Copies of this chain bind each other. A is one copy, B any other.
Amino acid sequence: MPDPASAQSALSSSVSLMERFQRIRAASESICAPLQIEDYVIQSMPDVSPPKWHLAHVSWFFEAFVLLPFLHGYRVLDEAYDHLFNSYYETHGQPFPRASRGLLSRPGVAEVYRYRQHIDAAMGELLARPPVEHAAEIARRVELGLQHEQQHQELLLMDILHILAQNPLRPAYRSDLRPGSGQLPDEPHWRDYPGGLQQIGHGGEGFAFDCETPRHRQFLEGFRLASRPVSCADYLAFISDGGYARPELWLADGWSLVQQAGWRAPLYWQRTDGRWLEMTLGGLHPLDLQAPVCHISFYEADAYARWAGARLPSEAEWEIAASDLPITGNFLENDHLHPVAAPQAAAMSQLYGDVWEWTASAYRPYPGFRPLPGSLGEYNGKFMCGQMVLRGGCCVTPQAHIRATYRNFFYPAMRWQFAGLRLAKEA
Protein backbone atom coordinates (compact mmCIF):
# COMPACT_ATOMS: atom_id res chain seq x y z
CA MET A 1 0.00 0.00 0.00
CA PRO A 2 1.80 3.13 -1.17
CA ASP A 3 2.09 5.97 1.29
CA PRO A 4 1.48 9.19 -0.72
CA ALA A 5 3.77 11.27 1.43
CA SER A 6 6.73 8.96 1.12
CA ALA A 7 5.94 8.49 -2.58
CA GLN A 8 6.13 12.24 -3.00
CA SER A 9 9.43 12.45 -1.19
CA ALA A 10 10.65 9.49 -3.21
CA LEU A 11 9.71 11.30 -6.38
CA SER A 12 11.50 14.46 -5.44
CA SER A 13 14.52 12.52 -4.32
CA SER A 14 14.50 10.59 -7.58
CA VAL A 15 16.22 13.49 -9.21
CA SER A 16 19.21 13.13 -6.96
CA LEU A 17 18.83 9.37 -7.18
CA MET A 18 19.26 9.70 -10.93
CA GLU A 19 22.40 11.70 -10.42
CA ARG A 20 23.77 9.14 -7.97
CA PHE A 21 22.79 6.40 -10.37
CA GLN A 22 24.76 7.98 -13.17
CA ARG A 23 27.75 8.76 -11.01
CA ILE A 24 28.01 5.31 -9.47
CA ARG A 25 27.43 3.55 -12.76
CA ALA A 26 30.18 5.66 -14.32
CA ALA A 27 32.53 4.85 -11.47
CA SER A 28 32.35 1.13 -12.27
CA GLU A 29 33.37 1.84 -15.81
CA SER A 30 36.20 4.08 -14.69
CA ILE A 31 37.56 1.26 -12.60
CA CYS A 32 37.67 -0.94 -15.67
CA ALA A 33 39.14 1.69 -17.96
CA PRO A 34 42.78 0.59 -17.46
CA LEU A 35 41.96 -3.02 -18.39
CA GLN A 36 42.81 -4.70 -21.62
CA ILE A 37 39.97 -6.69 -23.11
CA GLU A 38 41.72 -9.95 -22.18
CA ASP A 39 41.75 -8.96 -18.49
CA TYR A 40 37.97 -8.78 -18.48
CA VAL A 41 37.60 -12.48 -19.16
CA ILE A 42 39.70 -14.26 -16.54
CA GLN A 43 38.37 -16.09 -13.47
CA SER A 44 41.47 -16.85 -11.45
CA MET A 45 39.72 -18.89 -8.78
CA PRO A 46 36.09 -19.80 -8.07
CA ASP A 47 35.65 -16.80 -5.74
CA VAL A 48 36.85 -14.38 -8.39
CA SER A 49 34.58 -13.25 -11.21
CA PRO A 50 35.71 -11.97 -14.61
CA PRO A 51 35.47 -8.16 -14.64
CA LYS A 52 33.02 -8.22 -17.55
CA TRP A 53 30.79 -10.50 -15.52
CA HIS A 54 30.76 -7.97 -12.69
CA LEU A 55 29.81 -5.17 -15.07
CA ALA A 56 26.96 -7.22 -16.47
CA HIS A 57 25.77 -8.66 -13.17
CA VAL A 58 25.32 -5.31 -11.44
CA SER A 59 23.27 -4.22 -14.47
CA TRP A 60 21.20 -7.40 -14.33
CA PHE A 61 20.43 -6.56 -10.71
CA PHE A 62 18.58 -3.41 -11.83
CA GLU A 63 16.88 -5.35 -14.60
CA ALA A 64 15.71 -8.20 -12.39
CA PHE A 65 14.64 -6.21 -9.38
CA VAL A 66 13.67 -2.81 -10.77
CA LEU A 67 13.02 -2.77 -14.50
CA LEU A 68 11.14 -6.01 -15.00
CA PRO A 69 8.83 -5.42 -12.03
CA PHE A 70 8.30 -1.71 -12.50
CA LEU A 71 9.04 -0.42 -16.01
CA HIS A 72 6.00 -1.05 -18.15
CA GLY A 73 6.93 -2.50 -21.52
CA TYR A 74 10.55 -3.10 -20.67
CA ARG A 75 12.23 -5.45 -23.17
CA VAL A 76 15.30 -7.44 -22.23
CA LEU A 77 18.29 -7.21 -24.52
CA ASP A 78 18.95 -10.94 -24.51
CA GLU A 79 16.83 -13.61 -22.86
CA ALA A 80 19.90 -15.59 -21.85
CA TYR A 81 21.29 -12.85 -19.63
CA ASP A 82 18.83 -13.55 -16.86
CA HIS A 83 20.57 -16.92 -16.47
CA LEU A 84 24.13 -15.80 -17.17
CA PHE A 85 24.21 -12.83 -14.83
CA ASN A 86 22.17 -14.09 -11.91
CA SER A 87 24.76 -14.63 -9.19
CA TYR A 88 22.94 -16.62 -6.53
CA TYR A 89 19.26 -15.71 -6.44
CA GLU A 90 17.80 -19.22 -6.41
CA THR A 91 14.25 -17.95 -6.08
CA HIS A 92 14.74 -15.83 -9.20
CA GLY A 93 15.42 -18.29 -12.03
CA GLN A 94 18.52 -20.41 -12.29
CA PRO A 95 21.90 -18.85 -11.42
CA PHE A 96 24.73 -19.71 -13.80
CA PRO A 97 27.28 -21.87 -11.91
CA ARG A 98 29.66 -19.54 -10.12
CA ALA A 99 32.85 -21.48 -10.82
CA SER A 100 32.13 -21.45 -14.56
CA ARG A 101 31.93 -17.72 -15.09
CA GLY A 102 35.41 -17.79 -16.60
CA LEU A 103 34.29 -20.15 -19.37
CA LEU A 104 32.21 -17.49 -21.10
CA SER A 105 33.90 -15.47 -23.81
CA ARG A 106 30.52 -14.21 -24.99
CA PRO A 107 28.86 -11.84 -24.53
CA GLY A 108 32.09 -9.97 -25.13
CA VAL A 109 33.20 -6.79 -23.50
CA ALA A 110 31.60 -4.55 -26.10
CA GLU A 111 28.28 -6.35 -25.73
CA VAL A 112 28.48 -6.02 -21.98
CA TYR A 113 28.92 -2.29 -22.32
CA ARG A 114 25.97 -2.21 -24.70
CA TYR A 115 24.00 -4.09 -22.06
CA ARG A 116 24.96 -1.46 -19.53
CA GLN A 117 23.74 1.27 -21.89
CA HIS A 118 20.51 -0.59 -22.43
CA ILE A 119 19.97 -0.78 -18.67
CA ASP A 120 20.99 2.81 -18.12
CA ALA A 121 18.58 4.04 -20.77
CA ALA A 122 15.72 2.07 -19.28
CA MET A 123 16.60 3.20 -15.77
CA GLY A 124 16.71 6.79 -16.98
CA GLU A 125 13.24 6.36 -18.39
CA LEU A 126 11.93 4.83 -15.19
CA LEU A 127 13.54 7.28 -12.84
CA ALA A 128 12.33 10.18 -14.91
CA ARG A 129 8.72 9.09 -14.51
CA PRO A 130 8.39 6.52 -11.77
CA PRO A 131 4.84 5.20 -11.30
CA VAL A 132 3.56 6.96 -8.21
CA GLU A 133 2.21 3.89 -6.52
CA HIS A 134 5.65 2.20 -6.62
CA ALA A 135 7.91 5.19 -6.29
CA ALA A 136 9.00 4.45 -2.75
CA GLU A 137 9.73 0.85 -3.45
CA ILE A 138 11.54 1.78 -6.64
CA ALA A 139 13.65 4.27 -4.74
CA ARG A 140 14.50 1.68 -2.11
CA ARG A 141 15.49 -0.87 -4.72
CA VAL A 142 17.51 1.56 -6.79
CA GLU A 143 19.37 2.55 -3.66
CA LEU A 144 20.02 -1.13 -2.94
CA GLY A 145 21.17 -1.61 -6.50
CA LEU A 146 23.61 1.27 -6.17
CA GLN A 147 24.99 0.01 -2.89
CA HIS A 148 25.30 -3.37 -4.60
CA GLU A 149 27.21 -1.84 -7.46
CA GLN A 150 29.55 -0.15 -4.98
CA GLN A 151 30.23 -3.50 -3.38
CA HIS A 152 31.10 -4.85 -6.78
CA GLN A 153 33.43 -1.91 -7.39
CA GLU A 154 35.49 -3.19 -4.49
CA LEU A 155 35.15 -6.76 -5.74
CA LEU A 156 36.33 -5.62 -9.17
CA LEU A 157 39.56 -4.26 -7.71
CA MET A 158 40.08 -7.31 -5.49
CA ASP A 159 39.53 -9.58 -8.48
CA ILE A 160 41.67 -7.56 -10.86
CA LEU A 161 44.56 -7.77 -8.39
CA HIS A 162 44.07 -11.50 -8.00
CA ILE A 163 43.92 -12.02 -11.76
CA LEU A 164 47.06 -10.02 -12.46
CA ALA A 165 48.91 -11.60 -9.55
CA GLN A 166 48.57 -15.07 -11.11
CA ASN A 167 50.63 -13.89 -14.03
CA PRO A 168 54.40 -14.38 -13.80
CA LEU A 169 54.73 -11.11 -15.66
CA ARG A 170 53.22 -9.37 -12.60
CA PRO A 171 51.49 -6.75 -14.74
CA ALA A 172 50.40 -3.54 -13.06
CA TYR A 173 46.75 -2.52 -13.23
CA ARG A 174 47.89 1.05 -13.15
CA SER A 175 51.38 2.53 -13.02
CA ASP A 176 50.30 6.00 -11.91
CA LEU A 177 48.94 5.29 -8.45
CA ARG A 178 49.58 7.89 -5.77
CA PRO A 179 52.01 6.55 -3.22
CA GLY A 180 51.18 6.88 0.47
CA SER A 181 53.31 8.73 2.98
CA GLY A 182 56.38 6.76 3.97
CA GLN A 183 56.55 7.86 7.59
CA LEU A 184 57.17 5.30 10.24
CA PRO A 185 54.05 4.96 12.34
CA ASP A 186 54.22 5.40 16.08
CA GLU A 187 54.25 2.41 18.31
CA PRO A 188 50.59 1.70 18.85
CA HIS A 189 49.15 2.54 22.22
CA TRP A 190 46.09 1.10 23.91
CA ARG A 191 42.95 3.14 24.18
CA ASP A 192 40.43 2.17 26.85
CA TYR A 193 36.70 1.90 26.34
CA PRO A 194 34.30 1.48 29.21
CA GLY A 195 31.96 -1.48 29.39
CA GLY A 196 28.23 -1.43 29.98
CA LEU A 197 25.01 -1.95 28.09
CA GLN A 198 25.59 -0.62 24.62
CA GLN A 199 23.63 -0.39 21.41
CA ILE A 200 24.87 -1.49 18.04
CA GLY A 201 23.32 -1.95 14.64
CA HIS A 202 21.56 0.38 12.29
CA GLY A 203 18.50 2.07 13.60
CA GLY A 204 18.17 5.48 12.09
CA GLU A 205 17.89 7.23 8.76
CA GLY A 206 19.82 6.46 5.68
CA PHE A 207 20.58 3.29 3.86
CA ALA A 208 21.79 0.15 5.57
CA PHE A 209 21.77 -3.48 4.56
CA ASP A 210 19.24 -5.69 6.29
CA CYS A 211 22.04 -7.53 8.09
CA GLU A 212 22.90 -4.35 10.01
CA THR A 213 19.48 -4.32 11.63
CA PRO A 214 17.86 -4.16 14.05
CA ARG A 215 19.67 -1.85 16.37
CA HIS A 216 19.83 -3.75 19.62
CA ARG A 217 21.43 -3.80 23.05
CA GLN A 218 24.55 -5.72 23.87
CA PHE A 219 26.42 -5.84 27.15
CA LEU A 220 30.15 -5.28 26.85
CA GLU A 221 32.90 -5.53 29.42
CA GLY A 222 35.41 -2.74 29.33
CA PHE A 223 38.03 -3.23 26.63
CA ARG A 224 41.06 -1.71 24.97
CA LEU A 225 41.87 -1.23 21.32
CA ALA A 226 45.21 -0.60 19.70
CA SER A 227 45.51 2.86 18.24
CA ARG A 228 46.38 1.58 14.78
CA PRO A 229 46.24 -1.64 12.77
CA VAL A 230 49.07 -4.14 12.79
CA SER A 231 51.71 -3.02 10.31
CA CYS A 232 53.78 -5.05 7.87
CA ALA A 233 56.80 -4.48 10.11
CA ASP A 234 54.86 -5.90 13.06
CA TYR A 235 53.79 -8.86 10.99
CA LEU A 236 57.35 -9.57 9.83
CA ALA A 237 58.31 -9.92 13.50
CA PHE A 238 55.64 -12.61 13.82
CA ILE A 239 57.04 -14.40 10.77
CA SER A 240 60.59 -14.11 12.06
CA ASP A 241 59.50 -15.54 15.37
CA GLY A 242 58.32 -18.72 13.63
CA GLY A 243 54.70 -17.67 13.55
CA TYR A 244 53.86 -20.00 10.66
CA ALA A 245 55.59 -22.97 12.30
CA ARG A 246 54.10 -22.95 15.80
CA PRO A 247 50.82 -24.86 16.06
CA GLU A 248 50.06 -23.52 19.53
CA LEU A 249 49.34 -20.12 17.99
CA TRP A 250 46.72 -21.37 15.57
CA LEU A 251 43.15 -22.45 15.43
CA ALA A 252 43.03 -26.09 14.38
CA ASP A 253 41.49 -25.40 10.96
CA GLY A 254 44.02 -22.65 10.37
CA TRP A 255 46.92 -24.88 11.22
CA SER A 256 45.67 -27.54 8.80
CA LEU A 257 45.53 -24.93 6.10
CA VAL A 258 48.99 -23.57 6.85
CA GLN A 259 50.40 -27.03 6.33
CA GLN A 260 48.28 -28.00 3.38
CA ALA A 261 48.49 -24.74 1.45
CA GLY A 262 52.02 -23.98 2.51
CA TRP A 263 51.23 -20.47 3.75
CA ARG A 264 54.33 -18.66 4.95
CA ALA A 265 53.34 -15.02 4.51
CA PRO A 266 50.34 -12.88 3.46
CA LEU A 267 48.81 -13.66 0.10
CA TYR A 268 50.69 -11.31 -2.20
CA TRP A 269 54.05 -11.29 -0.50
CA GLN A 270 57.05 -12.92 -2.11
CA ARG A 271 60.64 -13.12 -1.04
CA THR A 272 63.02 -12.54 -3.91
CA ASP A 273 66.77 -12.29 -3.55
CA GLY A 274 66.42 -11.75 0.17
CA ARG A 275 63.93 -8.89 -0.14
CA TRP A 276 60.22 -8.93 0.59
CA LEU A 277 58.13 -7.72 -2.32
CA GLU A 278 54.39 -7.31 -2.57
CA MET A 279 52.17 -7.57 -5.61
CA THR A 280 49.81 -4.61 -5.69
CA LEU A 281 47.47 -2.94 -8.13
CA GLY A 282 50.49 -0.84 -9.01
CA GLY A 283 52.57 -3.92 -9.80
CA LEU A 284 55.28 -5.65 -7.83
CA HIS A 285 56.77 -3.32 -5.22
CA PRO A 286 59.06 -3.55 -2.20
CA LEU A 287 56.99 -4.21 0.88
CA ASP A 288 55.87 -1.01 2.64
CA LEU A 289 56.81 -1.80 6.23
CA GLN A 290 54.88 1.17 7.60
CA ALA A 291 51.60 0.22 6.00
CA PRO A 292 49.01 -2.02 7.66
CA VAL A 293 49.44 -5.68 6.84
CA CYS A 294 46.88 -6.76 4.28
CA HIS A 295 45.60 -9.89 2.53
CA ILE A 296 45.66 -12.16 5.52
CA SER A 297 43.06 -14.72 6.51
CA PHE A 298 41.12 -14.71 9.74
CA TYR A 299 43.33 -17.59 10.87
CA GLU A 300 46.44 -15.50 10.38
CA ALA A 301 44.90 -12.49 12.12
CA ASP A 302 43.86 -14.69 15.03
CA ALA A 303 47.29 -16.36 15.27
CA TYR A 304 49.03 -13.00 15.15
CA ALA A 305 46.86 -11.68 17.97
CA ARG A 306 47.57 -14.75 20.10
CA TRP A 307 51.28 -14.38 19.44
CA ALA A 308 51.04 -10.75 20.46
CA GLY A 309 49.29 -11.63 23.72
CA ALA A 310 46.15 -9.94 22.59
CA ARG A 311 42.95 -10.84 20.77
CA LEU A 312 40.72 -9.60 17.99
CA PRO A 313 37.97 -7.13 18.91
CA SER A 314 34.35 -8.22 18.70
CA GLU A 315 32.28 -6.45 16.12
CA ALA A 316 30.39 -4.69 18.91
CA GLU A 317 33.61 -3.39 20.42
CA TRP A 318 34.71 -2.17 17.03
CA GLU A 319 31.42 -0.45 16.36
CA ILE A 320 31.34 1.27 19.73
CA ALA A 321 34.83 2.59 19.11
CA ALA A 322 34.03 3.72 15.59
CA SER A 323 30.60 5.13 16.10
CA ASP A 324 31.65 8.61 17.05
CA LEU A 325 34.53 8.97 14.63
CA PRO A 326 34.31 10.75 11.30
CA ILE A 327 34.27 8.39 8.32
CA THR A 328 37.52 9.50 6.84
CA GLY A 329 40.52 7.54 5.74
CA ASN A 330 42.20 5.89 2.83
CA PHE A 331 39.32 4.90 0.55
CA LEU A 332 38.87 4.24 -3.13
CA GLU A 333 38.64 7.95 -3.87
CA ASN A 334 42.12 8.57 -2.41
CA ASP A 335 43.42 6.61 -5.32
CA HIS A 336 46.20 4.84 -3.44
CA LEU A 337 44.47 1.46 -3.95
CA HIS A 338 46.78 0.14 -1.29
CA PRO A 339 46.98 0.60 2.49
CA VAL A 340 49.24 3.44 3.58
CA ALA A 341 51.02 4.17 6.83
CA ALA A 342 49.03 5.55 9.73
CA PRO A 343 49.40 9.23 10.51
CA GLN A 344 51.67 9.83 13.45
CA ALA A 345 50.45 10.69 16.91
CA ALA A 346 46.85 9.88 16.20
CA ALA A 347 44.64 8.92 19.09
CA MET A 348 42.93 6.23 17.09
CA SER A 349 43.74 5.87 13.46
CA GLN A 350 42.56 3.95 10.44
CA LEU A 351 39.45 2.41 11.91
CA TYR A 352 37.98 3.44 8.58
CA GLY A 353 39.72 2.69 5.33
CA ASP A 354 43.06 1.12 4.48
CA VAL A 355 42.20 -2.47 5.51
CA TRP A 356 39.08 -4.28 6.60
CA GLU A 357 39.64 -5.38 10.16
CA TRP A 358 38.87 -8.99 11.01
CA THR A 359 36.76 -9.17 14.14
CA ALA A 360 36.28 -12.02 16.58
CA SER A 361 32.59 -12.21 15.68
CA ALA A 362 30.94 -14.84 13.57
CA TYR A 363 28.59 -13.40 10.97
CA ARG A 364 25.23 -14.33 12.41
CA PRO A 365 21.87 -12.57 12.44
CA TYR A 366 21.30 -9.87 15.02
CA PRO A 367 18.53 -10.57 17.51
CA GLY A 368 15.25 -9.92 15.73
CA PHE A 369 16.82 -9.85 12.26
CA ARG A 370 14.38 -9.97 9.35
CA PRO A 371 15.72 -10.34 5.80
CA LEU A 372 14.26 -8.24 2.99
CA PRO A 373 11.08 -9.72 1.53
CA GLY A 374 11.14 -11.80 -1.67
CA SER A 375 14.21 -12.73 -3.65
CA LEU A 376 16.14 -9.80 -2.23
CA GLY A 377 16.04 -11.63 1.09
CA GLU A 378 18.74 -13.82 -0.43
CA TYR A 379 21.08 -10.81 -0.56
CA ASN A 380 22.63 -11.28 2.89
CA GLY A 381 20.72 -13.61 5.17
CA LYS A 382 21.59 -16.91 3.60
CA PHE A 383 25.30 -16.35 4.12
CA MET A 384 25.03 -16.08 7.89
CA CYS A 385 26.93 -19.22 8.73
CA GLY A 386 30.60 -20.08 8.76
CA GLN A 387 31.85 -16.57 8.00
CA MET A 388 33.47 -13.90 10.16
CA VAL A 389 32.66 -10.20 10.32
CA LEU A 390 35.09 -7.54 9.11
CA ARG A 391 34.64 -3.85 9.75
CA GLY A 392 35.66 -0.44 8.52
CA GLY A 393 36.19 -0.60 4.78
CA CYS A 394 39.46 -0.46 2.95
CA CYS A 395 41.49 1.38 0.35
CA VAL A 396 39.31 0.03 -2.49
CA THR A 397 35.95 0.71 -0.82
CA PRO A 398 33.98 3.74 -1.98
CA GLN A 399 33.94 6.12 0.96
CA ALA A 400 30.22 6.80 0.81
CA HIS A 401 29.56 3.09 1.05
CA ILE A 402 30.83 2.74 4.61
CA ARG A 403 29.15 3.21 7.97
CA ALA A 404 30.01 2.40 11.57
CA THR A 405 27.35 -0.31 11.45
CA TYR A 406 28.55 -1.84 8.19
CA ARG A 407 29.15 -5.61 8.39
CA ASN A 408 31.39 -7.20 5.82
CA PHE A 409 31.94 -10.96 5.96
CA PHE A 410 34.28 -13.56 4.54
CA TYR A 411 35.12 -17.18 5.24
CA PRO A 412 38.03 -17.42 7.66
CA ALA A 413 40.34 -18.92 5.02
CA MET A 414 39.91 -16.14 2.47
CA ARG A 415 42.75 -13.78 1.75
CA TRP A 416 42.10 -11.95 -1.47
CA GLN A 417 40.06 -9.15 0.14
CA PHE A 418 42.02 -6.22 1.59
CA ALA A 419 41.90 -7.50 5.16
CA GLY A 420 44.16 -6.84 8.12
CA LEU A 421 43.67 -6.60 11.86
CA ARG A 422 43.73 -4.38 14.92
CA LEU A 423 44.52 -5.79 18.36
CA ALA A 424 42.18 -5.71 21.32
CA LYS A 425 42.51 -6.63 24.98
CA GLU A 426 40.47 -6.88 28.12
CA ALA A 427 40.45 -3.56 29.96
- Shortest C-beta distance, A89 to chain B (Å), equals 9
Tell me the nearest residue of chain B to A41, going by C-beta: B41
Interface residues of A in 77-135 (CB under 8 A from B): 80, 83-84, 88, 90-91, 96, 100, 102-109
**CB–CB A412/B426 < 8 A:** no
Quick one: closest B residue to A378, CB to CB? Answer: B248
> In the complex, which residues 164-194 of chain A have their Cβ closer than 8 Å to any Cβ of chain B?
164, 166-169, 171
B103, A42: Cβ atoms closer than 8 Å? yes
Q: Is A382 an interface residue (CB 8 A)?
A: yes
Tell me whether A36 and B103 are in contact (CB under 8 A). Answer: no
Task: Report whether A102 and B105 are in contact in the complex, using a CB–CB cutoff of 8 Å.
Answer: no
As a 0/1 sequence over residues 205 to 230 of chain A, the CB contacts with chain B under 8 angstroms (1 = contact) are 00000000000111111000000000
Tell me the minimal C-beta distance from A396 to chain B in angstroms. Answer: 19
> Is residue A404 contacting chain B, with contact meaning CB distance below 8 A?
no
Return the contact of A91 from the options B42, B247, B382, B426 (Cβ within 8 A).
Answer: B247
Q: Is the CB–CB distance between B42 and A40 below 8 Å?
A: no
Q: Tell me whether A252 and B382 are in contact in the complex, defined as CB-CB below 8 angstroms, given that A105-B167, A197-B219, A216-B221 are known contacts.
A: yes
Offer 23 A-B interface pairs, CB within 8 angstroms, sorted by A.
A38-B106, A38-B109, A41-B105, A42-B105, A84-B168, A88-B252, A91-B248, A96-B168, A100-B166, A103-B167, A104-B167, A106-B164, A106-B167, A216-B221, A218-B219, A251-B385, A252-B382, A253-B386, A255-B382, A299-B385, A302-B385, A361-B364, A362-B362
- B interface footprint on A384-427 (CB within 8 Å = 1, 0 otherwise): 11101000000000000000000000001000000000000010
Instruction: State the number of copies, please.
Output: 4
Residues B41 and A38 in contact, CB atoms below 8 Å apart? yes
In the assembled complex, the Cα of A108 lies from the Cα of B163 at a distance in Å of 14
State the CA gap A108–B35 with chains docked (Å).
11
Q: Does A44 contact B (CB under 8 A)?
A: yes
CA distance A106 to B44 in the complex (A): 13
Q: Please give me the 9 A-B residue pairs with the lowest Cβ-Cβ distance, nearest first.
A: A362-B362, A90-B247, A38-B105, A103-B166, A39-B105, A252-B382, A219-B219, A41-B41, A37-B37
User: A80 to chain B: which residues have CB within 8 Å?
Assistant: 168-169
The listed residue (B52, B104, B169, B314) touching A166 by CB distance below 8 A is: B104
**Chain B nearest CB, measured from A311 CB (Å):** 8
A364 in contact with B362 given A253-B385, A386-B412 (CB within 8 Å): yes
Let me know if B44 and A103 touch, CB within 8 A: yes
- A208 CB, min distance to chain B CBs, angstroms: 20
Given contacts A219-B219, A382-B251, are A163 and B105 in contact (CB under 8 A)? yes
User: Does chain B have a CB within 8 A of A232?
Assistant: no
User: In chain A, residues 321-366, which have Cβ atoms closer than 8 Å to a Cβ of chain B?
Assistant: 360-362, 364-365
Nearest Cβ in chain B — how far from A188, in angstroms? 22
A residues 149-174 near B (Cβ < 8 Å) are 163-164, 166-169, 171
What 0/1 readout, one digit per residue, does chain A (235-271) give for beta carbons within 8 Å of chain B?
Answer: 0000000000001101111110000000000000000
Q: How far is the CB of A361 from chain B (nearest CB, A)?
A: 7
Least Cβ–Cβ distance between A196 and chain B, in angstroms = 10
A367 interface residue, CB < 8 Å from B?
Answer: yes
Closest B residue, CB atoms, query A369: B311
Question: Does A73 sit within 8 A of B, measured CB to CB?
Answer: no
